[in-house]
Amino acid sequence: MPDRAWHVVVLVMCLLGGCNANYVFDDAEYHPLGDPQAIIRGR
């Protein structure tokens, strides 16, 4: 059973790690960092 718990912990860590993308909150919109078009999009 401890082996199974270890696998579950690794799976959860990988899934939560995917939530940490390169998005920032700016002008009430999320946009990827380094994407210059995202700043002027919607104007």
Which range of residues forms the domain containing residue 12? 2-40
The answer to pTM > 0.85 is no
Alpha helix (H) residue ranges in 1-43 = 2-17, 36-40
Residue 37 to residues 17, 31, 34, 43, Cα–Cα distance (Å): 26, 9, 9, 11
pLDDT per position in the chain (43 positions), as tens? Answer: 567 888 899 888 887 776 666 555 556 566 566 656 655 666 6
Angle at 23 between CA 22 and CA 24, to 5 degrees: 125
Number of domains in the chain: 1
